Amino acid sequence: MVSRRFTTAVQLSAEIMQQRTYEDAVKKLNSLQTNAQVLEQIRKTRGRLAQNNLPEMRSFTERAGVKMEDLDKLSIIHISGTKGKGSSCAFCESILRHEGLKTGFYSFIVLQEEGKNSMPAYFRFLTLLSFHVFLKEKVDVVVLEVGIGGAYDSTNIVRNPVACGVTSLGMDHVTTLGGTIESIAWQKAGIFKPGVPAFTVPQPETALEVVADRAKEIRAPLFVIPPLDDYPGSLPDLGLEGDHQLLNASLALQLCQTWISRRYKKADNCEVENGTSIKRASTEEKSSDEPFSKKAKVEVPVAQIFEISNTFRSGLKNTRWCGRNQVIVRPAVTFYLDGAHTPRSMEACARWFKKRADEEKVKERGTVARVLLFNLTGGRDAHGLLKPVMKCDFDHAIFCPNNISLNLKSSDSDLTNFTVSRDNQLRWCVENQRVWMALRGAGFQPHADPTGNCTEITNGDHVIKNGLDDGPYSTIFPCVSQAIRWLLGGRDSLIEEFCREDLPVPDFIKKASRVQVLVGGSLHLVGTVMKVLGPEIVGDV
C-alpha cells in the first residue's frame, strides 16, 4: 500500500511542475497525508514492520532516479534525539553558513507531532525531495534531522555521514519507539555508522549505557559533549533563547568542528583521533535535564574543548529557528512562541517563559495579563504538558484546533492537517480544557472521554465554550484567528484579513496594559499563529 502511494507521489510531481504554483504544489503534497484509520493500523503493526522501512526507502529512492552512490556524495551531519535536535541542527547550519559554505538543512517540523507518528508517504516523499534538492544544488554540507526515532527513520538510508549527534533523550512517540527510555535510546543511536564520530549530550544513566553499547556494536567512536562554559574565552551569545540551548550549542560546536576537521583533514591546536578532537576524562556526567539527575557511570570520553572562532561565534549568535523560544512584541500584546510538545520540552518552555515574561512585566507600569494558547493532539499526555505551565501564573487559558479560520482557503493548505476531522480536533480541545480545569483544582477528572458528541461545540462561529463552566479561566475557540482577535481586544488590526467579526472582550483583557501570550503544545499551532500574524509581524526568521 505504501509502495502504491509513493508511485502516485512520483506521478503527481510531474503535474506539480506543470502547475508551477505554490498552492497547487502543497495541495498535491497534502494528498499524501494518510487518514486516521490507516495511521492507526500502521501504529498497530509498526514494531513488526519497522525493519522494512529502510529497504523500502532505498527502493523508492532508486525508482525516483536517485542512486545510493549519489547520496554518498552528500557531506552530512545527521542528528537524532527527543528534545533539541531541531535547535542543534539550526545552530550547525548557521555556523557552517557563516564559514562561507553552501548549506542544506532538512527538518520535518510542521506535522511531526500531529498524527502521533510520521505519515509514511508524506514524510518519505519530503525526505526524498530534500535529497534531490541538495544534490541538484550541489551543497557543501547537509544538516539532516531525523523525523522519528533514528534506526528505521527514512533519513537513515544515508551510509556515510561525516558526524552524528544525539540530543537530550526522553519519553516521546512511545507507540513507535517503545515505552522505555532504553528502547528510545536504542532507536536514536541507530543513526551511528562505523568509524564516524558520534556525539551525545549528557543523558540519563540507563540511556547513556544503551547509546554507548550501540556505538560499540556499530564501531562508532562516541563522545559526550562538554558544557558550553568550559570552552576557552567568554560564553558565546546565542540566537536561540533558553538555558537548554547551551547544551544544543555545545553539541553543534563539536559537530561542526568535527565536520571541518574531517572534511579538510586538519585540526587546530588539538589532538585528532578518527578525525575527532577529544580528551580522555571521567565519564560520570550529570544528566542533561532535571528529571534525570543521576550520574552516568559508563566509560565514554568527553570531547575536547577548543577556542571558539569568531565565525563560529557569529553563527551561534545569528541562529534563527522560528517558533522556538521566539518573542514577538506588539503594541499591547507579546507573543511567546515555543513549539514544545513533550513533557520535558514543556518544562524548559515554562522556565524560559516565566523568566522572560517576568522581566517584561517589571518594565510595565500598568496591569499585565497572562494567557496560555494551547493545543495538543490526540494520543499525547495533556496532563504532563500542562502541569509544568501551572506555575507561570496564567490568568486564562485558550484551547483551539490548529486551524487558521473557519473557512479553509487554498493559501492555508500548507498548514492543514487532513488526517483528523474538525469534530475530533474540537473533542481534544475539550479534553485539554478538562485537564486544565483539573490542574486548577476545579474538581474534574484529569482524563475525560473525548468520544462523546460535540455538536454543541461545532456550530458556534464566535467564542465557544464546551459546556464545562470554568468561569473566566478558560475558553475554547474554533480557530486561531478568532482566538488572537479576542486576545488583541480591538487594539491591533493585524489580522483583519482573517477575522472581521467583533468578539466580546473580557474585562481583564480590556484593563491590561499588556497581555502576555504563551503559544505551545504543538508546532503546528505555533506555525498557524505565525501565519495569522503574517511575515511583517513575525519578521525575517
Taking the CA of residue 167 as centre, how many other CA atoms within 13 Å lie in the half-sphere pointing to its CB? Answer: 28
Cα–Cα dist 106/455, whole Å? 40
Q: Is 70 annotated as a binding residue?
A: no
User: Residue 173, annotated ligand binder?
Assistant: yes
**Longest Cα–Cα distance in the chain:** 69
Distance CA 220, CA 198 (A): 7
Is 145 annotated as a binding-site member? Answer: yes
Backbone angles phi, psi at 181, to 5 degrees: -65, -30
What is the rounded distance in angstroms from the CA atom of residue 390 to the CA atom of residue 295? 29
Whether residue 172 is annotated as binding a ligand: the answer is: no
- Tell me which amino acid residue 33 is: Q
Exposed / middle / buried, residue 429 (Cβ in 10 Å: 0-12, 13-18, 19+) = buried
Cβ neighbours of residue 331 closer than 8 Å, sequence gap 6 or more: 491, 492
Contact 31, 125 (CB under 8 A): no
Q: 416: buried, middle or exposed (CB in 10 Å: 19+, 13-18, 0-12)? A: buried
CA distances from 149 to 72, 118, 395, 519 (A): 22, 10, 37, 26
Buried b (16+ CB within 10 A) or exposed e, 49-71: ebeebbebbbebbeebebeeeeb
* Region for residue 269 given its phi and psi (left: phi exceeds 0; alpha: psi -120 to 50; beta: otherwise): left
Binding residues: 145, 173, 324, 338
Binding residues for ATP: 324, 338
Binding residues for Mg(2+): 145, 173
